[in-house]
């Protein structure tokens, strides 16, 4: 192929460099030199995207063609009006990697920044690259009229400084830029309590946080940063918070509200019904049919799509409840925190021809750089015709939680069993391979499944797809059918799903109809939702103190906590008392109890969990 390079079109030459960089594959020998030699005489033919991709790809491959860089700068300056924001930021990033100071390009770029049409289209990441590159190259880029300020900080002999830059343009989301030095992995203690901690907190409060690597270049800081946190929030020394968590069950620990989502675990678990229409469709299928099993299997996978958020929700207190009436979807749901040790939440929902029951006993371990989660979920779907399905959930892990962007993985195998006829779906959430980047991308969040009849695998149908995108069934006649596609999430509302946003909304008159135990009455969540962290922490502390006082009172009376503070709407199932953890539902809903009392509007028998806070 090397001999044919001079015959390639500019777009083809640029995509070779860009493609190799995306695959993280560095060609051996003089292949890149020959690629640059083929591109140099044809630069005048390169359009903006091809020029940007060529230099960006070479920079990622750490290949510095001095002659090509100089010629490319001249070419870009002559046609800079045709370049889009992302192409300009990619070129800047490449010039920094090459240690090439493109002064003519910077001057032309300054002129382009006076074009409001261009600046209106620039995303947060482009602004971050712009400021970072200019400061690292030592170029005074005049962008103060855009609300951005920065200053240079000279490196100290023998060490690389690691600092932040943050800025906010009027009418746009604030941006925090993290400059990452090569020493970060070596001195984790300083890292966790340093600038990286502030950036993690910023991301929880709606900031765009951009991480950019720098080798041993001059690093930047800012002398006049617009408020780093939304009004009322506080800066935390993250290492002081997490150093005592390593190797322990995180759920047993109280975290500052700044690190949490503005919802409770009860509300979050209602997301199991985000795709309840799958159960509506299944209810219309014949009892015991393969068609019904396919839809229930798809429903069992659908909640994983809501699990890409990495923040924890608020722990519910003992006796806390949450109701959700969703007329548009035709179901109503009740959940309750039934025991504290172990922490168990029970759920009951009723829909169009089906009932849904679930409980979980979560255990979450923190290992410093990662988190392991075993939710011990047991879930059951019962249709009005008597068909009943039961299944569990796989374990999960969150990696990279301190360094860079957190990564969520759900891996393992589970079964969706029809308890009446021996039909089952065996579902696998595939673990991505470690070595091949291309196959890793293809198998990211991949799900596969097949059906069994009395333990014997059926040739068809099969199930495949990605749990964060869509899931399909491949049928016996060679056709295929989409079972469900993932809904969009609200990025500006903590990545909440449509259903979770609905869970948090308080419509006019709703509070008057809710019991005093409902999650919507929690003042700490309401304050955090308004970015008032001090108020949220104060309310959270009072709620937790009330819970401790109730436990102490029960202890003094000599009565076990489960008897002194029993659940109101769920009761132990005597038929499952000896069931192993995660194998059967051990709590059952007291039929009709909650909804009949709600209809009467009489909550006098409920504990006053949140009044006066």
Residue 195 counted as domain residue:
yes
Is residue 301 included in any domain, yes or no? yes
- DSSP category for residue 311: S
**Helix 66-78 and helix 85-98: axis angle, to 10°?**
150
Same domain, 26 and 83: yes
Out of 90, 120, 150, pick the residue that ends a domain.
Answer: 120
Query: 160 and 101 share a domain?
Result: no
Tell me the pLDDT band of 371, cut-offs 50, 70 and 90.
confident
CA angle 435, 440, 442 (to 5 degrees): 150
Q: What is the per-residue pLDDT for 369?
A: 60
Position 98 confidence tier, pLDDT thresholds 50, 70, 90: confident
The residue count of the chain comes to: 613
Would you tell me how many other CB atoms lie within 10 Å of the CB of residue 346? Answer: 25
Residue 264 makes CB contacts below 8 A (sequence gap 6+) with 313, 314, 315, 316, 320, 322, 519, 522, 525
**pLDDT at residue number 488:** 79
Which residue range forms the structural domain that includes residue 89? Answer: 1-120
pTM: predicted TM-score of the whole model, two decimal places: 0.62
Q: Of 187 and 452, which is predicted with more confidence?
A: 452
Last residue of a domain, one of 120, 153, 181: 120
**Among 264, 208, 240, residue whose Cα is nearest residue 524:** 264
Which CATH number do you get for residue 511?
2.40.160.120
Cα-based angle 123, 127, 128 (whole degrees, multiple of 5)? 115
Let me know whether 176 and 313 are in one domain.
no
If asked whether residues 111 and 162 sit together in one domain, one would say no
* Averaged confidence pLDDT in the chain: 77
Q: Chain-centre distance of CA 285, in angstroms?
A: 34
Domain membership of residue 78 (yes or no) is: yes
Same domain for 213 and 260?
A: no
More confident residue, 297 or 194: 297
CA–CA distance, 487 with 149 (Å, rounded to integer): 39
Predicted pLDDT at 559 = 78
**Could you give the residue ranges of the DSSP H alpha helices within 389-448?**
437-442
Domains identified in the chain, total number: 3
**342: preceding bond cis by omega (within 30 degrees):** yes
- The residue with tokens 């198998």 is 443
Instruction: Name which residue leads in pLDDT, 355 or 4.
Output: 355
Lowest mean pLDDT among 3-12, 368-377, 488-497, 539-548: 488-497
> Are residues 409 and 320 part of one domain?
yes
41 assigned to some structural domain: yes
Dihedral (Cα; 180, 186, 192, 198), 10-degree rounding: -10
Helix axes 85-98, 48-60, angle to 10 degrees: 30
Peptide bond into 282 cis (omega under 30): no
Q: Is the predicted pLDDT of residue 66 greater than 90, yes or no?
A: no
Residue 406 in any domain: the answer is yes
Ranking 40-49, 205-214, 435-444 by mean pLDDT, the lowest is 205-214
Residue with tokens 């849904």: 356
User: Which has more pLDDT, 559 or 357?
Assistant: 357
Residue 537: strand, helix, or coil: helix
Residues 284 and 203 in one domain: no
**3-class SS of residue 392:** strand
By the 10 Å C-beta count (0-12 exposed, 13-18 middle, 19+ buried), 36 is classed as: buried
pLDDT for 570 beyond 90: yes
Do 326 and 219 fall within a single domain?
Answer: no
Q: Look at residue 282 and give its three-state secondary structure.
A: helix
**Which among 272, 296, 274 has a CA at the least distance from the CA of 284?**
296
Cα–Cα distance between 34 and 53 in angstroms, integer? 17
- Cα atoms found within 13 Å of the Cα of residue 335, Cβ hemisphere only: 27
Half-sphere exposure of 273 (CA within 13 A, CB side): 32
Dist CA 524 CA 540 (whole Å): 5
Res. 197 pLDDT band, cuts 50 70 90: very low
How far apart CA 373 and CA 311 sit, in angstroms, is: 13
More confident residue, 477 or 495: 477
Residues 305 and 319 in one domain: yes
Residue 511 lies in a domain: yes
Counting Cα atoms < 13 Å in the Cβ hemisphere of 35 gives 27
In a domain, 467, yes or no: yes
Position 608 in a domain: no
Q: Give yes or no: residues 445 and 522 share one domain.
A: yes
| Overall average pLDDT of the 452-480 stretch | 93
In a shared domain, residues 169 and 262: no
pLDDT tens track for 160-196: 333 344 444 444 444 444 444 333 332 222 222 334 4
Residues 174 and 63 in one domain: no
Return all residues near 428 (Cβ < 8 A) that are at least 6 apart. 412, 413, 447, 448, 449
CA distance 230 to 519: 24
Of 10-14, 27-31, 40-44, 215-219, where does mean pLDDT reach its minimum?
Answer: 215-219
Domain boundary among 55, 85, 120: 120
Q: Which tops the pLDDT comparison, 270 or 32?
A: 270
- Mean pLDDT along residues 207-231: 34
């Amino acid at each position: 192929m090397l001999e044919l390079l001079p015959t390639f079109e500019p777009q083809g030459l640029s995509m070779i460099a860009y493609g190799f960089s995306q695959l993280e594959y560095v060609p051996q020998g003089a292949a890149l030199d020959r690629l640059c030699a083929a591109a140099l005489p044809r630069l005048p033919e390169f359009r903006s995207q091809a020029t940007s991709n060529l230099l960006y790809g070479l920079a990622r491959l750490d290949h510095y063609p001095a002659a090509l860089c100089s010629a490319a700068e001249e070419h870009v300056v002559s046609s800079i009006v045709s370049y889009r924001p992302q192409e300009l930021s990619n070129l800047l990033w490449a010039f920094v990697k090459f240690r090439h100071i493109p002064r003519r390009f910077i001057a032309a770029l300054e002129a382009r920044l006076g074009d409001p049409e261009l600046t209106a289209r620039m995303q947060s990441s482009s602004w971050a690259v712009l400021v970072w590159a200019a400061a690292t190259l030592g170029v005074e880029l005049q962008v103060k009229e855009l609300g951005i300020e920065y200053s240079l900080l000279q490196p100290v002999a023998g060490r690389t400084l690691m600092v932040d830059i943050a800025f906010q343009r009027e009418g746009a989301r604030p941006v925090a830029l993290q400059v990452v030095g090569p020493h970060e992995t070596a001195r984790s203690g300083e890292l966790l309590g340093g600038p990286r901690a502030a950036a993690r907190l910023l991301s929880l409060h709606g900031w765009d946080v951009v991480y950019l690597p720098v080798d041993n270049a001059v690093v930047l800081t800012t002398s006049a940063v617009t408020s780093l946190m939304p009004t009322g929030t506080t800066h935390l020394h993250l290492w002081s918070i997490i150093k005592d968590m390593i190797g322990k069950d995180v759920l047993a620990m109280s975290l500052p509200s700044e690190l949490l989502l503005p919802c409770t675990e009860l509300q979050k678990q209602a997301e199991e019904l985000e795709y309840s229409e799958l159960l509506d469709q299944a209810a219309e299928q014949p009892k015991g049919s393969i068609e019904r099993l396919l839809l229930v299997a798809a429903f069992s996978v659908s909640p994983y799509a809501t699990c890409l958020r990495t923040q924890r929700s608020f722990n519910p207190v003992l006796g806390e409840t949450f109701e959700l009436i969703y007329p548009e979807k035709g179901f109503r749901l009740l959940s309750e925190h039934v025991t504290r040790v172990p922490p168990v939440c029970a759920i009951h929902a009723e829909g169009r021809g089906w009932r849904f029951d679930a409980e979980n006993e979560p255990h979450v371990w923190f290992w410093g750089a990662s988190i392991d989660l075993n939710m011990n979920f047991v879930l059951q779907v019962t249709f009005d015709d008597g068909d009943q399905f039961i299944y569990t959930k796989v374990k999960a892990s969150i990696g990279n939680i301190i360094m860079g962007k957190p990564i969520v993985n759900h891996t393992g195998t589970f079964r969706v069993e029809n308890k009446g006829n021996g039909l089952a779906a065996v579902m696998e959430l595939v673990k991505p391979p470690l070595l091949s980047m291309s196959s890793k991308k293809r198998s990211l969040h991949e799900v596969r499944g097949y059906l069994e009849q009395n333990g014997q695998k059926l040739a068809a149908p099969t199930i495949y797809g990605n749990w964060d995108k869509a899931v399909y069934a491949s049928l016996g006649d060679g056709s295929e059918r989409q079972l469900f596609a993932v809904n969009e999430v609200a990025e500006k509302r903590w990545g909440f799903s449509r259903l979770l946003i609905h869970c948090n909304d308080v419509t006019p008159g709703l509070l008057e109809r809710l019991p005093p135990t409902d999650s919507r009455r929690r003042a700490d969540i309401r304050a955090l939702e308004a970015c008032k962290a001090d108020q949220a922490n104060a309310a959270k502390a009072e709620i937790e103190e009330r819970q401790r006082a109730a436990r102490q009172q029960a202890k003094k009376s000599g009565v076990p906590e489960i008897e002194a503070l029993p659940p109101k709407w769920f009761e132990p199932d005597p038929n499952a008392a000896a069931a192993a953890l995660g194998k059967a539902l051990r709590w059952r809903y007291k039929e009709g109890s909650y909804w009949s009392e709600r209809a009467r509007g009489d909550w006098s028998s409920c504990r006053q969990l949140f009044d006066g806070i």
